Amino acid sequence: MVAAGLAGFPPDICKRLVVKIGSALLVDADGAVRSQWLASVAADIATRHKAGQQIIVVSSGAIALGARRLGLPKGGRGSLDDAQAAAAVGQIALSQAWAELLAAQDITAAQMLLTLDDLENRRRYLNATATLERLLSLQVVPIINENDSVATTEIRFGDNDRLAARIGQAANADAVVLLSDVDGLYTANPQTNPQAQLISEVRSINAEIRAMADGGSGSGMGSGGMASKIEAAGIANTAGTHFAIISGLTPSPLSRWQQDGKGTIFLAQPGKRARKSWLAGRLTTRGSIQVDAGAARALAKGNSLLPAGVTEISGNFARGDVVDIIGPDGVRIARGLAEYDVADARRIIGRRSDEIAQILGPTFRPALVHRDHMAML
């Protein structure tokens, strides 16, 4: 049973919605835009827009579209160079399709291209947030895609599922919905197991939920499978944003979802403050700090991480870099900003405050990661 009123993410409950559309839905097997289907999605967006819901679209498809025009093999994903070239060509076609279809509904579209680094860097993250806020205040529908034409392996999201979750976080959206070629999370792969059952609601993403994921992308066009969708759900939920996976295989998928409610909704956790939300949603860190059971319990109660509870440090980080905090069982439990660089941090592993003063001098900082700069995961 889905939480009351949430099925379909109706405008009266979800004032701001991120809609992510995968390549397999937007582009046909020959690499052409599925214009009629996309027009039905634009009509769905217009209906919600008129009802007062602010919509942000995260749209895949640029690489697939560009590959067709350039005659590139493997859908343009044979090499990074091919993907970048295909994206540069396909992005024009993609943005034109969206602009024309939304204009037919009397809606203005805007294009934003982002890389992972844009949302991992705090200043650029805030700039993106400000741009989204202004566009939405002007009744514009932003169309967002990863900037594949310049992104390298090191600065790529790798799939637009996680990009959609991070956009939901940056825009302070109430919900994110993924239109996919599957209609939600199943207990097993429904293509191979006829006994698989659709899970309508997920209240907590635990090891059992993650075990249900299939890491592959079934269409061969996109780059994300169910594992990336669950990871994206975790990013959104941690920021206080609901997250859903529904089928986009039929026309007017958002209208259909409001009618039949078929899909999986991952319920949001209580939202974090903006800075902690940004920390929790980051996809890259510079190192990790492993702690003992006592320190893990202290962190769960809202305390800072003190050196006395640290058992191991890895990575190469400077003061102010983002680090993961790992529990004694090897599971990541928090993320925060390091108060020391890695060399000094290693010098004070397991040390009490009086010992740290002797090692680093009287002006030392008592916490390795302060609670005000830490987000529990």
pLDDT reading at 222 higher than 60: no
75 pLDDT tier (thresholds 50, 70, 90): confident
Lowest mean pLDDT among 227-231, 300-304, 306-310: 227-231
170 and 295, same domain (yes or no)? no
Tell me, what's the pLDDT at 157?
A: 61
Tell me which residue of 350, 365, 248, 361 sits closest to 304, measured CA to CA.
Answer: 365
Instruction: Write the CB contacts of 194 (distance below 8 Å, at least 6 apart in sequence).
Output: none
CA distances from 3 to 7, 93, 128, 208, 232 (A): 8, 39, 31, 21, 20
289 and 370, same domain (yes or no)? yes
Is 4 a domain residue?
no
- Are 11 and 52 spatial neighbours (Cβ–Cβ below 8 Å)? yes
Query: Global pTM?
Result: 0.77
Q: Beta-carbon neighbour count of residue 77 at 10 Å?
A: 18
Can you tell me whether residue 132 is helix, strand or coil? Answer: helix
Enter the DSSP assignment of 330: S
260 and 311, same domain (yes or no)? no
Percent of the chain surpassing pLDDT 90? 53
Mean pLDDT of 223-232: 80
Tell me, what's the pLDDT at 4?
A: 57
Whole-number Å distance between alpha carbons of 6 and 10: 7
Mean pLDDT of 100-107: 98
266 and 299, same domain (yes or no)? no
Tell me, what's the pLDDT at 223?
A: 43
Identify the residue with better confidence: 2 or 194: 194
In the chain, how many domains are there? 2
180 and 208, same domain (yes or no)? yes
79 and 208, same domain (yes or no)? yes
Tell me, what's the pLDDT at 23?
A: 86
**Does an H or E element contain 102, and which?**
helix 80-103
What's the maximum distance between 2 C-alpha atoms anywhere in the chain? Answer: 71
Mean pLDDT of 68-93: 89
308 and 178, same domain (yes or no)? no
Is 202 a domain residue?
yes
Domain span including residue 332: 285-376
Tell me, what's the pLDDT at 221?
A: 38
Is 171 a domain residue?
yes
Is 318 a domain residue?
yes
152 pLDDT tier (thresholds 50, 70, 90): low
224: left (phi over 0), alpha (psi -120 to 50) or beta: beta
300 and 212, same domain (yes or no)? no
Which of 246, 277, 308 corresponds to the end of one domain? 277
- Are 334 and 291 spatial neighbours (Cβ–Cβ below 8 Å)? no
- Are 240 and 43 spatial neighbours (Cβ–Cβ below 8 Å)? no
303 and 198, same domain (yes or no)? no
pLDDT reading at 155 higher than 80: no
Is 3 a domain residue?
no
Which of 277, 299, 334 corresponds to the end of one domain? 277
139 pLDDT tier (thresholds 50, 70, 90): very high
Is 11 a domain residue?
no
Using only the alpha carbons of the chain, give its radius of gyration: 22
| pLDDT tens for each residue of 9-53 | 999 999 999 999 988 899 888 888 999 999 999 999 999 999 999
92 pLDDT tier (thresholds 50, 70, 90): very high
25 and 170, same domain (yes or no)? yes
Mean pLDDT of 169-192: 90
CATH number at residue 27: 3.40.1160.10
Is 10 a domain residue?
no
CATH number at residue 324: 2.30.130.10
Instruction: Write the CB contacts of 239 (distance below 8 Å, at least 6 apart in sequence).
Output: 165, 168, 169, 268, 271, 272, 277, 280, 281
300 and 262, same domain (yes or no)? no
Which of 222, 256, 277 corresponds to the end of one domain? 277
Angle between helix 160-170 and helix 274-281 axes, rounded to 10 deg: 170
255 pLDDT tier (thresholds 50, 70, 90): very high
Identify the residue with better confidence: 272 or 58: 58
Is 223 a domain residue?
yes
335 and 265, same domain (yes or no)? no
pLDDT reading at 258 higher than 70: yes
Tell me, what's the pLDDT at 216?
A: 46
